[in-house]
Structures are given as structure tokens and as C-alpha cells.
């Protein structure tokens, strides 16, 4: 018996198509009419769409119905007149444009800020589907790639623009909150408010909160849960939070750590503050069909849990100190707050608004920055606090316009929209914005560093160990002599070095992600080559590749020669280092 394609059922081909890529399916459609007809099955293209794309909307609108991290990834209704194949093709063309803009950002300094903001304003969250393919392995769980195969510069700019998009999403959500009337306070409301602050974190909007769905379902699916009293249900949620590593901070160092103000740290096992713990408790209570609201008190945030009954009786109310993991009586709270209250609290307790609590979180961040001014997250926390306090009108900023401008220029050069938020009363922000835009359109000429007779001994990209402090680093620039201020030289004891300030000094990136300025006397290039254990060498490579800004300077790692290969900009500035 002879078989032909025409004799085979279409269902068989549709099954096969699910294993093909969209590009392969399109090629197959060109082979004959039957294949063309079969590959037009819109259910197949719907499957292709959700295999290829994670984000389905350009921006998030504030909602209390679902976790904000999920809204941008939920199924959506096709625009009128579109098929799934049409929508797939349109998204593919958008992705192509995003990639071309990214390539331009990487290859030239001209219009870098403009192009980054063009991507953000035109495509928003949709662009994350392009960038996520280039993220470092630490952010891409399914990504498996060797250190030498990584394009560090592409990783860097993809992540930087994704962070820009995330911060702009946070600003849009703050604007949305400000214009809404009667924002609910129960359930996931507080967690969503803190997620807006999370948008300003380095991992930003990429944090997923769906874990709470899983935890809540596990609690509710226990046959015993429905038989428990309200008190027992609350105790079970508290115990579950502890088992899931949602833990209270211990001691002032942990308590005032600015990372506590970001959900990312909490969802990765770091002990945290009452405000964050209460947000998780209220969300889990809602997963368990309970009504829980945050209660803001002087120096404390607790949760109120309600259980309504079928009768007309007043609902049962419990007050939970989530931070301490226990149920509190009203008398206990009044005794604790006696020095802060004009009169004792009585039932019903006041409702604390979500706007008040998110402003409280912003002030917590300012306090953390004051307590520990050297944290690597301080610039992100300051940015978030500024946006919350300015957008929601929650009081004057506790710092000067000039100090915030310094942070903006140092850490957030692409965020030109922040000038509108700062809005200096003197109008100087307009001049600063114009200056940045002019430099972006016409970047200043790079001052070349040429090697002469008294040239530095070491080269851009070399890996070294600091002779005094033993950290590892990579050289990313040099001066023929120390160019730091006299005050810095005195503080660092430069005059005590053998060759003092007249020797070459190197700009370096340390394995703790900090930029530093190091004298040639303190650089040990041979230390790395003397390591015999290959695993130890690999660990150093990994630490240096994980430095947040490594891709701003270097394109890739050359493990054979134990050095980093600079990108085009660094080669242009130090031409003699790369003959």
C-alpha cells in the first residue's frame, strides 16, 4: 500500500507542528497548499505565542485583584481583527526593532540614552521578552552558558534597560495609586504597594510573587484547615511563614538593612521588618479566605484579621504581631504604646491607608541609608524613596536637590524622566537635562591614554590580587600618577607607599562589585597564575563575571590568558593596551 501526504489526517500534522519552531512551521507552509492550510491553525499559533513571549501588555495598571508581578504575564484577549499568527508576527517585528536599538546602544555612545528611553516608552514591558534572553545566568534560571561564551556587554545593557523599564513601571504605578479613590487595604493590597517599591530594586519587576499562591493552596488543601478556629488558622499561617523562611530581622544591623525594604531580599530568605512581614501575612490570609488588613501603630505594624459569621453578630477580630509571631490583646498593645498614645485604643481599630504605609516604607529607606551609608543598595533605595515621597506628596525630601542630582548622574544616567520628578524650584534641572541630552546626541571626544616611557606596568583587563587586602579585581583604567584629591591621598596613606603618589594608579573593579583606585605597588598580577587548583581559579572568574558593571567595561572573558577582553569604548580610550 502506498501512502501520500494527502491521505494522512490533519490532526497528525498539528501534533507534529507543536514540536516545531514558529520559523520551521512558516517554512513548512511554503512547501504545498495542504501544509499552508494546516499551519494556519490559530490554536497552534496561540501555543507558539505563549512559548515565545512571557509579557503580553506594555504596562501594568494598579490592581488589588491580582499580584502586580503576574498581571503583565496573564492571558489576554486578542485585539479585534487579529489572529494569533498576526499577533505573533507583529510581536516578532517589534522584537527585531528592539534588538536593532540594543545593538546601536552597544556599538556607539551616540543617542544611547535616547534609544534606551525609546525602547522603554514604545515597548515597555514587552521589551523584557527580548532582554531576558541576554540576562546573566543568575537571572535566567534555564540559561546554561559557559563563562567564555557570555557577551558581558550585551548582558550589561540588556539588564540596565530592563531596570529602566522597571523603574518607569514603578513610577506609573505610583501615579495610578495617587489618582485612585478608596484603595482597598485588605489582602494583597500592601504587598502590591511594596512591589511598586520593588520595581526600583536591581532585580525590579522580575521578582515573582506566585509562590504565595502555592503556599496558600497547600494550607487550604489540608483537610484539617476548614475545621480550625480563626485563632488556629492565624497560628498556622504564622508557622507556615516561618517554615518558608519569612523571618523577622534580628538586631539593629539586620533591622536597619535597606534590603529589608525590598521584597526581593525577603523572598530569598533574608530576615525582614514588620511592615514586609505583615504584607506577606495579609496576602496569605486572603489565599486562605480570611480578611486581613495592616494596622499602622507608632513604631510597629501589625495585622487585623476578621472572620465574618452567618449571623448578624459583629465579626471576630484578632490582632497579630507578625514580627513576634503571636496574637496580641488590645490591653497588651495599649500597655506597649502607653508613652506614644494620647488615649488608649478601642475597637474598632482605625484602618491604616495603603498610601500611608508605602510612604512609611519610603521613610524607612531614608532612615536605613542614614544608619548605613555604604550599602550597595542605597542609590536604589534613595531613588525609590524620592519617587514615593514626591509622587504621593508625603512630605519634603530630607536631602538637597544637588545631592540627588549627583546620585542620578552617577548611577542612573538613562533616567532623564527623573528630572521632572525632582523639579528644582530654581529651574536648574531643565539646564541639567538639556546638557545631558546634548551630550547624548554629541558625545564628547574620548581623551586617549597613550603609553610613554614611564608607562604603567600592567594592562587593561588583567586580573590581580590586592597585596594588602587580598581581594581580587580586574584593571579597567590607569593614570601615570595618582589623580585623586589630596584629602583622599591622606586618608588612604598614599605617602606611606614605597613610590607614593608618583607611581601609576589603576581604576579597578573589585570582586565585591565596588570600583576602586589602586596603587601599582599594591597590585599582584602573578597571584592568579600561581593558583594550582583550577576550581579556585574558576571561582574567581565567576565572582568577577558577577560584578554588576563588568559588562560596561568588558565584552567577554578570556580564561586561557586569564584576562577580560575590553569592549570598543575601552579600546578606544586605551589604544596602546590592545596592539
Taking only the tens place, the pLDDT of each residue in 75-95 is 778 888 899 999 999 999 999
Residue 404 binned pLDDT confidence (cut-offs 50, 70, 90):
confident
Nine-digit cell string for 246: 519569612
Q: What 8-state DSSP symbol labels residue 344? A: -
The reply to whether 379 falls in a domain is no
Q: Using CA atoms, how far apart are residues 302 and 259, in angstroms rounded to an integer? A: 20
Q: Identify whether the C-beta of residue 536 lies closer than 8 Å to the C-beta of residue 523.
A: no
The reply to whether 177 falls in a domain is no
The reply to whether 384 falls in a domain is no
Q: Identify whether the C-beta of residue 508 lies closer than 8 Å to the C-beta of residue 475.
A: yes
Which CA distances in Å does 3 have to 7, 115, 568? 7, 55, 58
pLDDT recorded at residue 142: 58
Q: Which residues pair with 302 in a beta bridge?
A: 295
How far out from the chain centre does Cα 315 lie? 40
Calculate what percentage of the chain has a pLDDT beyond 70.
93
Q: Identify whether the C-beta of residue 83 lies closer than 8 Å to the C-beta of residue 198.
A: no
- Say if residue 216 is in the same domain as residue 134: no
> Average pLDDT in the 467-490 region?
95
Q: Using CA atoms, how far apart are residues 78 and 86, in angstroms rounded to an integer? A: 10
pLDDT digits (tens, 9 = 90+) for 495-506: 999 999 999 999
pLDDT recorded at residue 34: 78
Q: Which residues pair with 319 in a beta bridge?
A: 304, 328
> Average pLDDT in the 99-108 region?
97
Q: Using CA atoms, how far apart are residues 128 and 158, in angstroms rounded to an integer? A: 9
The reply to whether 346 falls in a domain is yes
Higher-confidence position of 237 and 578:
237
> Average pLDDT in the 284-307 region?
92
pLDDT digits (tens, 9 = 90+) for 540-562: 999 999 999 999 999 999 999 99
The reply to whether 368 falls in a domain is no
- Say if residue 200 is in the same domain as residue 298: yes
Does the pLDDT at position 171 exceed 60?
yes
- Say if residue 202 is in the same domain as residue 157: no
Q: Which residue has the cell 549627583?
A: 406
- Say if residue 326 is in the same domain as residue 248: yes
The reply to whether 72 falls in a domain is yes
Q: Using CA atoms, how far apart are residues 514 and 543, in angstroms rounded to an integer? A: 12
- Poorest-confidence range of 17-26, 135-144, 481-490? 135-144
Q: Using CA atoms, how far apart are residues 105 and 112, in angstroms rounded to an integer? A: 5
pLDDT recorded at residue 5: 63
The reply to whether 45 falls in a domain is no
- Say if residue 342 is in the same domain as residue 250: yes
Distance between first and last Cα of the chain: 70
Rounding to the nearest 10 degrees, give the CA dihedral for residues 13, 14, 16, 18: 160
pLDDT recorded at residue 6: 65
Range of 22's domain?
A: 1-40
Residue 4 binned pLDDT confidence (cut-offs 50, 70, 90):
low
pLDDT recorded at residue 311: 52
Q: Count CB atoms within 10 A of the CB of residue 566.
A: 24
> Average pLDDT in the 232-243 region?
96
Q: Identify whether the C-beta of residue 134 lies closer than 8 Å to the C-beta of residue 154.
A: yes
Which CA distances in Å does 364 have to 271, 370, 405? 16, 10, 21
Of 444, 477, 499, the last residue of a domain is 444
Q: Which residue has the cell 551616540?
A: 110
Q: Which residue has the cell 610613554?
A: 452
pLDDT recorded at residue 275: 96
Residue 392 binned pLDDT confidence (cut-offs 50, 70, 90):
confident
How far out from the chain centre does Cα 463 lie? 28
Q: Could you give the strand order of the β-sheet that contains 291-297, starting from the edge strand earlier in sequence?
A: 291-297, 300-307, 316-321, 326-328
Q: Count CB atoms within 10 A of the CB of residue 306.
A: 17
**Is 519 exposed, middle or buried, given 0-12, 13-18 or 19+ CB atoms closer than 10 A?**
buried
Does the pLDDT at position 429 exceed 70?
no
Q: Identify whether the C-beta of residue 52 lies closer than 8 Å to the C-beta of residue 23.
A: no
Q: Residues, the chain, total?
A: 579
Does the pLDDT at position 384 exceed 80?
yes
Residue 2 binned pLDDT confidence (cut-offs 50, 70, 90):
low
- Poorest-confidence range of 304-313, 334-343, 501-510? 304-313
pLDDT recorded at residue 502: 93
- Say if residue 206 is in the same domain as residue 350: yes
Q: Using CA atoms, how far apart are residues 40 and 17, in angstroms rounded to an integer? A: 11
- Say if residue 231 is in the same domain as residue 325: yes
The reply to whether 352 falls in a domain is yes
Q: Identify whether the C-beta of residue 528 lies closer than 8 Å to the C-beta of residue 463.
A: yes
Task: Please tell me whether residue 414 adopts helix, strand or coil conformation.
Answer: coil
Angle between helices 112-123 and 84-107 (to 10 degrees): 160
Q: What are phi and psi of 236, to 5 degrees?
A: -65, -40
- Say if residue 252 is in the same domain as residue 350: yes
Q: Using CA atoms, how far apart are residues 566 and 105, in angstroms rounded to an integer? A: 16
- Say if residue 405 is in the same domain as residue 508: no
Q: Identify whether the C-beta of residue 156 lies closer than 8 Å to the C-beta of residue 550.
A: yes
> Average pLDDT in the 340-361 region?
89
Q: Using CA atoms, how far apart are residues 386 and 399, in angstroms rounded to an integer? A: 10
Does the pLDDT at position 245 exceed 90?
yes
Q: Which residues pair with 507 in a beta bridge?
A: 477, 517
Residue 166 binned pLDDT confidence (cut-offs 50, 70, 90):
very high
- Poorest-confidence range of 233-242, 300-309, 473-482? 300-309
Q: Could you give the strand order of the β-sheet that contains 515-519, starting from the edge strand earlier in sequence?
A: 515-519, 505-510, 472-479, 463-466, 523-524
Task: Please tell me whether residue 494 adopts helix, strand or coil conformation.
Answer: helix
Q: Identify whether the C-beta of residue 489 lies closer than 8 Å to the C-beta of residue 495.
A: yes
Mean pLDDT of the chain: 89
Does the pLDDT at position 398 exceed 70?
no
Q: Which residues pair with 24 in a beta bridge?
A: none
Q: Using CA atoms, how far apart are residues 76 and 68, in angstroms rounded to an integer? A: 15
Record the pTM. 0.91
Angle between helices 42-52 and 84-107 (to 10 degrees): 30
Q: Positive or negative, the Cα torsion across 405, 411, 413, 419?
A: negative
Say which CATH number the domain at 15 has: 1.20.1280
- Say if residue 98 is in the same domain as residue 123: yes
Considering only CA atoms, give the Rg of the chain. Answer: 28
E strands of 195-299, at which residues? Answer: 291-297
Does the pLDDT at position 425 exceed 60?
no
Which CA distances in Å does 54 have to 74, 75, 442? 9, 10, 36
pLDDT recorded at residue 313: 57
- Poorest-confidence range of 120-129, 156-165, 188-197, 367-376? 367-376
- Say if residue 21 is in the same domain as residue 92: no
pLDDT recorded at residue 321: 96
- Say if residue 192 is in the same domain as residue 98: no
Task: Please tell me whether residue 236 adopts helix, strand or coil conformation.
Answer: helix
How many independent structural domains does the chain possess? 5
**Is 57 exposed, middle or buried, given 0-12, 13-18 or 19+ CB atoms closer than 10 A?**
middle
Amino acid at each position: 500500500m502506498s501512502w501520500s501526504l494527502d491521505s494522512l489526517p490533519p490532526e497528525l500534522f498539528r501534533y507534529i507542528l507543536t514540536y516545531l519552531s514558529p520559523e520551521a512551521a512558516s517554512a513548512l507552509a511554503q512547501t504545498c497548499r495542504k501544509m499552508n492550510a494546516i499551519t494556519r491553525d490559530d490554536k497552534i499559533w496561540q501555543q507558539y505565542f505563549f512559548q515565545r513571549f512571557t509579557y503580553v501588555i506594555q504596562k501594568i495598571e494598579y490592581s488589588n485583584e491580582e499580584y502586580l508581578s503576574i498581571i503583565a504575564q496573564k492571558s489576554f484577549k486578542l485585539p479585534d481583527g487579529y489572529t494569533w499568527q498576526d499577533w505573533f508576527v507583529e510581536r516578532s517585528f517589534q522584537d527585531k526593532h528592539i534588538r536593532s536599538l540594543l545593538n546601536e546602544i552597544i556599538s556607539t555612545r551616540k543617542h544611547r540614552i535616547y534609544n534606551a528611553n525609546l525602547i522603554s516608552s514604545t515597548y515597555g514591558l514587552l521589551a523584557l521578552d527580548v532582554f531576558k534572553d541576554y540576562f546573566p545566568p543568575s537571572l535566567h534560571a534555564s540559561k546554561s552558558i559557559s563563562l567564555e561564551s557570555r557577551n558581558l556587554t550585551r548582558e550589561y545593557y540588556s539588564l540596565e534597560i530592563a531596570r529602566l523599564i522597571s523603574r518607569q513601571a514603578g513610577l506609573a504605578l505610583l501615579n495610578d495609586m495617587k489618582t485612585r479613590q478608596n484603595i482597598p487595604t485588605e489582602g494583597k493590597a500592601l504587598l502590591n504597594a511594596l512591589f511598586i517599591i520593588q520595581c526600583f530594586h536591581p532585580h525590579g519587576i522580575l521578582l515573582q510573587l506566585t509562590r504565595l499562591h502555592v503556599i496558600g493552596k497547600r494550607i487550604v488543601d489540608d483537610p484539617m484547615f476548614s475545621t480550625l478556629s480563626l485563632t488556629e488558622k492565624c497560628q498556622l499561617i504564622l508557622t507556615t511563614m516561618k517554615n518558608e523562611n519569612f523571618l523577622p530581622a534580628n538586631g539593629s544591623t539586620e533591622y536597619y538593612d535597606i534590603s529589608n525594604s525590598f521584597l526581593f531580599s525577603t523572598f530569598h530568605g533574608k530576615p525582614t521588618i514588620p511592615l514586609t512581614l505583615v504584607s506577606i501575612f495579609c496576602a496569605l490570609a486572603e489565599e486562605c479566605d480570611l480578611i486581613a488588613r495592616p494596622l499602622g501603630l507608632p513604631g510597629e505594624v501589625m495585622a487585623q484579621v476578621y472572620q465574618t459569621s452567618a449571623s448578624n453578630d459583629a465579626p471576630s477580630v484578632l490582632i497579630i504581631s507578625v514580627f513576634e509571631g503571636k496574637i496580641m490583646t488590645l490591653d497588651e498593645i495599649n500597655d506597649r504604646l502607653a508613652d506614644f498614645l494620647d488615649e488608649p485604643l478601642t475597637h474598632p481599630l482605625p484602618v491604616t491607608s495603603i498610601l500611608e504605609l508605602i510612604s512609611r516604607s519610603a521613610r524607612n529607606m531614608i532612615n536605613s541609608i542614614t544608619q548605613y551609608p555604604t550599602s550597595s543598595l542605597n542609590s536604589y533605595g534613595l531613588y525609590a524613596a524620592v519617587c514615593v515621597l514626591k509622587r504621593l506628596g508625603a512630605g519634603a525630601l530630607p536631602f538637597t536637590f544637588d545631592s540627588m542630582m549627583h546620585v542620578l548622574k552617577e548611577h542612573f544616567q538613562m533616567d532623564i524622566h527623573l528630572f521632572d520628578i525632582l523639579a528644582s524650584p530654581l529651574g536648574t534641572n531643565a539646564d541639567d537635562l538639556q546638557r545631558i541630552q546634548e551630550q547624548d546626541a554629541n558625545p564628547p571626544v574620548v581623551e586617549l591614554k597613550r603609553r610613554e616611557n614611564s608607562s604603567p606596568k600592567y594592562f587593561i583587563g588583567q586580573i590581580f590580587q590586592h597585596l594588602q587586602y587580598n581581594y581580587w579585581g580586574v584593571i579597567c583604567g590607569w593614570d601615570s600618577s595618582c589623580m585623586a584629591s589630596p584629602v583622599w591621598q591622606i586618608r588612604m596613606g598614599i605617602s606611606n607607599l614605597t613610590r607614593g603618589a608618583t607611581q601609576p594608579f589603576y581604576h579597578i573593579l573589585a570582586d565585591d562589585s565596588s570600583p576602586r583606585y589602586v596603587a601599582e605597588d599594591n597590585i599582584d598580577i602573578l597571584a592568579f597564575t600561581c593558583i594550582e587548583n583550577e576550581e579556585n581559579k574558576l571561582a574567581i572568574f565567576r565572582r568577577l563575571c558577577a560584578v554588576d558593571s563588568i559588562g560596561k567595561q568588558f565584552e567577554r572573558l578570556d580564561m586561557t590568558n586569564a584576562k577580560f577582553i575590553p569592549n570598543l569604548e575601552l579600546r578606544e580610550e586605551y589604544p596602546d593596551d590592545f596592539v
